[in-house]
Structure 1
Amino acid sequence: MIQRKLNQEIYFSCNMRYGVLTRQDFKLMKKAGFRMLLYGLESASQKTLNMINKGVTVERIIKETKWAAQAGLEPHLTIMVGYPWETRKDAWNTFRLAKYLFQKGWAKTLQVTIVMPYPGTRLFKQALEKRWLKTLDWDEYDMTKPVMKTPLSDKDVELMARRIYQLFFTPQYIAHRILNIRSLEDIQFIIRGLRKVIGHIKDFSR
């Protein structure tokens, strides 16, 4: 990509997994023309990370998000709420981790969805065995409402999703985005992102 000078013509984005790259790898990706890295953070609960086979620690998540940002890349975090074994404390810890990464300016964007046990997955099998499922109406499996029993109420799960999305409107996050504007394209990118965030908040406010 560098030799062919593609990095001078277009930006690249890609899905990324925590626990596989070094600080130098991130610097090379930036040089090669990468911009956004989509990470599955999922949860701040180490128990959850272990149960879903992420193969990474919370400490490593923080470190790699920092490395990527310091290299000039833009980490995008995907977060899940409503795991059937997670407590209110677990959910708040996930919120706090997302807030910390945003306040530091290391996470640039994020998205939140409610955990879905889709057929064919290990979680679906567990949900059947442990009787976690509340419905088998597939129209309900759109990631905007809980379909499994959890220690939290449905309203609390949806509220947590909204709270995480509202991190986009904190003074610290807004300041970081403004200070990092370098072009008209950056402004357009932010505007498109905010429109999506507002739409997602509405999804969890039905």
Structure 2
Amino acid sequence: MKVALVVPGGKKEMEGMNQVARPPLGVCYLKSYLEHNGHEAKVFHQVDESDSELVDKITKYDPQLAGFSTMSCVYDEGSDLAKRLKDYNPSVKTVFGGEHVTGSFAEDQKYEPGFFEKSCGREGIDYFIPFEGEKPLLNLVSGLEAKANEKDIKGILFKNKGKWEYTGQVPRIDNLDELPAPNRDDLPYDKYCSVDESSDLEYMHTGRGCRFKCSYCATPVSSPGKVVANSAERVLDEIEDRYKNHGRTDFFFADELFTFDPQRVADICKGIEDRGLKGNIQYRIFARVDDVSRGKVDLGMLKDSGCNGLFFGVESMNAETLNRLRKGTTPEMIETAINKTYDAGIPVWASLMVGYPWETESQLKTSMDKYTEISRGKVFHTYSTFITPFPGTDFYHYCRSNDLIGDPNYLRSDCSTPALKTEIPRERLIEMHREFRKGIK
């Protein structure tokens, strides 16, 4: 079967920063998995094309199935594309997956029956796949080819008598080495750029899941259970291939917990040297504040093997807020982690959010001032956005239950505007955020 894998959306201009398109590795894994199992697939990542141009490209490809992977902020754009595609070719089947679909389905199942239909039900969509996509998508493709009963296709939602019916969750993939490497051949690399304009940045996903349960985070929803990861050898094979055969030298490991297994990290660092990659490649990773502050991460080893960036999810310098978010960190840990990483000679990246509904103006100012103080001269770049409750998370349920969602269309803003009712007037909150961003540049 011929399958189009579509990622809607493109460059989003945010106040004070540019969030720019990055390679959608999730659909690249889907492409390689389908190809490995005898099907044809092509990725269409909408970076700067108009909707008409994108639909025209997909139509010329003439797929039998079009799969859409969407975040919440571009879900409506994706559903519009699906409808337009069906207007051109009524016989094409469409399936949606990704964070918005998974979160909405989880919200429906855990807290609010009927939520999924309101959040995701749109004209032009035939199927949905929540959670991990490789096996359910292959099941759907094989089932459509065989004209199987939709009830027998595991891992999908389909419309049955006007209601969405779930056929049951497919077990997660425990051994990621079983998956073929992501096929990036269709990606428009010349159009990608990170916040520091490093257009040559190569993203890698070598693990899924997180052992922590931060209340606002979608990862425990989309990848519940234990952390699973590629072996060190498999990671090194992919790095070596991208370097030797594609000229990639600057890597970013987008795993939530790259450092979850110290032995795996040590094996990767040693392998970089053993394979002659040391000095030729560099890389950035996400790391936990508590792990670094407590000395559980060997910063010297990372630095020696080419690590040129650690990204911390700071989120706040207010102890109460950190506790409410279930971060497992303290302001003191944050300061220690930043200092240790800086002293090790590794550039620090960090994220911080504002707009928590329980914080007063005084508390927010204290948090901002403390972060500005400890980060000055030590943090290379700070991403600062407004806290956003995503469906399926405990934080979303808390906000819904307490009538704290102030903007009904907040999911379209991609964290760039206040979503919640807070102790601080909206315009004052925006002003404080703007001034904070000026102070940390």
- TM-score scaled by structure 1? 0.76
What is the distance in 2 between the residues matched to 1:12 and 1:51? Answer: 32
Q: 1:145 is matched with which residue? A: 417
What is the distance in 1 between the residues matched to 2:288 and 2:365? Answer: 23
Please report how far the alpha carbon of residue 108 of structure 1 lies from its aligned counterpart in structure 2 after TM superposition.
Answer: 1.7
Please report how far the alpha carbon of residue 164 of structure 1 lies from its aligned counterpart in structure 2 after TM superposition.
Answer: 2.1
SS at match of 1:2: helix
From 311, 336, 341, the equivalent of 1:63 is 336
In the alignment, does 2:306 pair up with 1:13?
no
What is the distance in 2 between the residues matched to 1:7 and 1:126? Answer: 47
Contact 1:132 1:149 in 2 (8 A): yes
1:158 aligned partner, one-letter code: I
In the alignment, does 2:270 pair up with 1:3?
no
2:427 aligned partner, one-letter code: K
Task: Quickly say closer, same or farther: Cα 1:5–1:70, change in 2 above 3 A.
Answer: farther
Q: Relative contact order: is structure 1 or structure 2 higher (C-alpha 8 Å, sep ≥ 6)?
A: 1
2:391 aligned partner, one-letter code: P
Q: 2:434 is matched with which residue? A: 162
In the alignment, does 2:355 pair up with 1:82?
yes
Contact 2:310 2:346 in 1 (8 A): yes
Please report how far the alpha carbon of residue 111 of structure 1 lies from its aligned counterpart in structure 2 after TM superposition.
Answer: 1.1
2:351 aligned partner, one-letter code: T
1:117-162 deviation digits (Å, cap 9, x = unpaired): 1111111100111110123325544212112100001112212221
What is the distance in 1 between the residues matched to 2:342 and 2:316? Answer: 20
From 291, 300, 315, the equivalent of 1:27 is 300
1:10 aligned partner, one-letter code: I
Q: How does 1:33-182 map to 2 (within 5 A)?
A: 33-103=306-376, 105-138=377-410, 140-169=412-441
Task: Quickly say closer, same or farther: Cα 1:138–1:64, change in 2 above 3 A.
Answer: closer
Contact 2:335 2:374 in 1 (8 A): yes
1:157-186 deviation digits (Å, cap 9, x = unpaired): 2122212211245xxxxxxxxxxxxxxxxx
Identity of aligned residues (%): 24
Which has the higher Rg, Structure 1 or Structure 2? 2
- TM-score scaled by structure 2? 0.37
User: Which ranges of structure 2 fall in alignment gaps of 5 or more residues?
Assistant: 1-271
SS at match of 1:8: coil
Please report how far the alpha carbon of residue 92 of structure 1 lies from its aligned counterpart in structure 2 after TM superposition.
Answer: 0.9
Task: Quickly say closer, same or farther: Cα 1:33–1:15, change in 2 above 3 A.
Answer: same
Structure 1 residues 5-14 or 15-24, which shifts more?
A: 15-24
2:408 aligned partner, one-letter code: L
Runs of 4+ in structure 1 off by over 4 angstroms are none
SS at match of 1:69: helix
Structure 1 residues 57-66 or 134-143, which shifts more?
A: 134-143
User: Which ranges of structure 1 fall in alignment gaps of 5 or more residues?
Assistant: 170-206
Please report how far the alpha carbon of residue 16 of structure 1 lies from its aligned counterpart in structure 2 after TM superposition.
Answer: 1.4
- Superposition RMSD in Å: 1.7
Q: Report which of the two has the higher share of helix.
A: 1
